[in-house]
């Protein structure tokens, strides 16, 4: 839906976060006769930032009703998070009294509206009407978000990073699009090595400042090679926990700037991979023909299915395929129990030369031609046409061009 009618006052939804149950009861009683607000969930405690992020993704409310009086410090943390999550979820502050100090503090912290007990029907209706108009305006002027394509290996060393780096470069050449390549493998990322980067900043800096990202800061965080912007992983392995909402904020900002955001992920069991896959428009699982890797790919596909990912979102890429491979693509599909989207030839010589020279894989080699074909598929699909691309299948791709 793209018109403003979906944001009519009668259709606003909200997540209620109110440890003060007496305040929650007063507010519920005040809106009992209103058809302008639908409370999707009622949280009786202040959630951890990660929990709030998850609920926002699940429910996608138009607003958060937040008790700002029970624990001011905890409420302000959630208020700050909400302003950066889900493209900025507006917060309506709830308080037991008309306290000027609290009102001023909340307004400075980004609260969209402030309501206090006793909740007057007129005040509540006006606040909801302002939010409805705000949402209608945002929908009308919302820019197109870039497509997020996630590449994840079935097993480390499957060649996902090599494919990704070269396809990102070619996607820029073929589609004349603005591309970001982000290395989200915080412990073993190799994008910087492939591009021969010597850059002072990394993904870790973006995550630490996820709530402050703007054009100037972002320009200092990324570096440009082969015509694409790159956000490398940290030089030293980083194994500490990263809050999913921080990842979300970084990806949301990137999608507001770029036509395509291509991310290089570690195994899907890593928390940062799980957080990213939830955001992805398309997931590319990269395997090679080695039998153990094929079975790991099948386990990964089964896990994605258990996690609720639709099959249309997932595409299997088989890398390093020999011309006289013992197992045919059809045999591999039987192992996967899933169709192969595309295969990439084994071309160690071309890869080695590219790594030594710090350049893309040559256009005239078999692997270079295949990467270009893949980039052309991506450039021709665009956002919202994933099902069409999936329907191409292996035979159509191999016979194309």
pLDDT at 238: 93
- In 52-163 the beta strands, taken as DSSP E runs, fall at 63-67, 91-95, 113-116, 147-153
pLDDT at 11: 62
pLDDT at 327: 92
Bridge pairing between strands 260-264 and 314-321: unpaired
DSSP 265-279: ---TTSHHHHHHHTT
Query: What distances in angstroms separate CA 187 from CA 277, 301, 338, one per listed residue?
Result: 18, 23, 30
H or E element: which one contains 57? Answer: helix 49-59
**Segments making up each domain of the chain, as ranges:** 4-141, 147-399
Q: Count other Cβ atoms within 10 Å, centred on residue 319.
A: 24
pTM of the model: 0.64
Cα gap 125→134, rounded to integer Å: 14
pLDDT at 147: 93
Only one residue has tokens 């030839």, namely 345
pLDDT at 171: 93
Cα gap 145→9, rounded to integer Å: 26
HSE of 55, CA atoms in CB hemisphere, 13 A? 24
Structure tokens given for 350:
């071309």
DSSP 156-218: TTSSHHHHHHHHHHHHHHHH---EEEEE--TTT--HHHHTT---S--HHHHHHTGGG--HHHH
Bridge pairing between strands 223-225 and 63-67: unpaired
Strand partners, 376: none
Topology given in CATH for the domain delimited by 147-399 = Rossmann fold (3.40.50)
pLDDT at 133: 76
Structure tokens given for 58:
């699940």
pLDDT at 301: 96
The answer to whether 4-141 and 147-399 have equal CATH topology is yes
**Are 115 and 131 contacting, i.e. CB atoms less than 8 angstroms apart?**
no
pLDDT at 389: 37
Bridge pairing between strands 113-116 and 228-231: unpaired
Cα gap 21→117, rounded to integer Å: 13
Of 135, 68, 66, nearest to 104 by C-alpha is 68
pLDDT at 138: 61
pLDDT at 189: 92
Cα gap 103→68, rounded to integer Å: 9
Q: Count Cβ atoms within 10 A of the Cβ of residue 139 and give its class: 0-12 exposed, 13-18 middle, 19 or more buried.
A: middle
Q: Which DSSP category does 144 fall into?
A: P
Cα gap 17→42, rounded to integer Å: 6
H or E element: which one contains 17? Answer: strand 12-17
Options 3.40.50.2300, 3.40.50.300, 3.40.50.2000, 2.170.190.11; CATH of 4-141: 3.40.50.2300
Length of the chain (residues) = 401
pLDDT by residue for the chain (401 residues), tens digit each?
333 333 334 468 899 999 999 999 999 999 988 877 888 889 999 998 778 877 887 677 889 999 999 999 999 989 888 865 444 789 999 999 988 888 888 888 888 899 999 999 889 988 888 888 777 666 544 557 899 999 999 999 999 999 999 999 999 988 788 999 999 999 999 999 999 998 899 999 999 998 888 899 999 999 999 999 999 999 999 989 888 878 888 998 999 999 999 999 999 999 899 889 988 999 999 999 999 999 999 999 999 998 888 899 999 999 999 988 889 999 999 999 999 999 999 999 999 999 988 889 998 999 999 999 999 999 884 343 333 333 333 333 333 33
Structure tokens given for 17:
């976060």
């Amino acid at each position: 839906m793209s018109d403003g009618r979906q944001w009519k006052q009668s259709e606003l939804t909200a997540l209620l976060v109110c440890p003060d149950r007496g305040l929650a009861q007063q507010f519920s009683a005040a809106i009992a006769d209103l058809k302008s607000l639908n409370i999707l969930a009622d949280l009786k405690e202040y959630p951890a930032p990660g929990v709030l992020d998850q609920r926002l993704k699940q429910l996608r409310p138009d607003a958060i009703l937040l008790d700002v009086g029970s624990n001011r410090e905890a409420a302000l943390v959630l208020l700050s998070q909400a302003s950066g999550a889900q493209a900025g979820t507006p917060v309506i502050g709830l308080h037991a009294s008309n306290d000027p100090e609290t009102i001023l503090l909340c307004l400075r912290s980004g609260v969209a509206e402030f309501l206090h007990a006793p909740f007057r029907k007129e005040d509540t209706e006006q606040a909801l009407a302002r939010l409805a108009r705000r949402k209608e305006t945002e929908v009308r002027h919302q820019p197109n978000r870039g497509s997020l394509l996630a590449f994840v290996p079935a097993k480390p060393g499957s060649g996902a990073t090599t494919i990704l780096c070269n396809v990102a470069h070619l996607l820029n050449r073929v589609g004349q699009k603005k591309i970001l390549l982000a290395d989200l493998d915080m412990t073993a990322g190799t994008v910087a090595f492939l591009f021969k980067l010597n850059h002072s900043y990394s993904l870790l800096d973006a995550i630490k400042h996820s709530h402050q990202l703007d054009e100037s800061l972002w320009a200092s965080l990324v570096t440009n090679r082969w015509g694409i912007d790159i956000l490398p992983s940290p030089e030293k392995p980083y194994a500490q926990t990263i809050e999913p909402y921080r990842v979300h904020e970084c990806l949301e900002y990137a999608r507001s700037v770029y036509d395509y955001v291509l991310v290089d992920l570690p195994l899907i069991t890593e928390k940062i991979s799980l957080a990213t896959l939830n955001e992805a428009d398309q997931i590319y699982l990269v395997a090679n023909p080695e039998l153990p890797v094929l079975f790991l790919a099948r386990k990964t596909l089964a896990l994605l299915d258990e996690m609720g990912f639709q099959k249309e979102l997932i595409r299997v890429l088989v890398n390093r395929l020999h011309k006289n491979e013992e197992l045919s693509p059809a045999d591999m599909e039987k192992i996967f129990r899933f169709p192969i989207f595309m295969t990439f030839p084994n071309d160690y010589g071309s890869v080695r030369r590219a790594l030594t020279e710090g350049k893309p894989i040559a256009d005239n080699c078999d692997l270079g031609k295949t990467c270009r074909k893949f980039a052309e598929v991506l450039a021709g699909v665009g956002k919202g046409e994933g099902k069409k691309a999936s329907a191409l299948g292996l035979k159509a791709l191999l016979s194309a061009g």
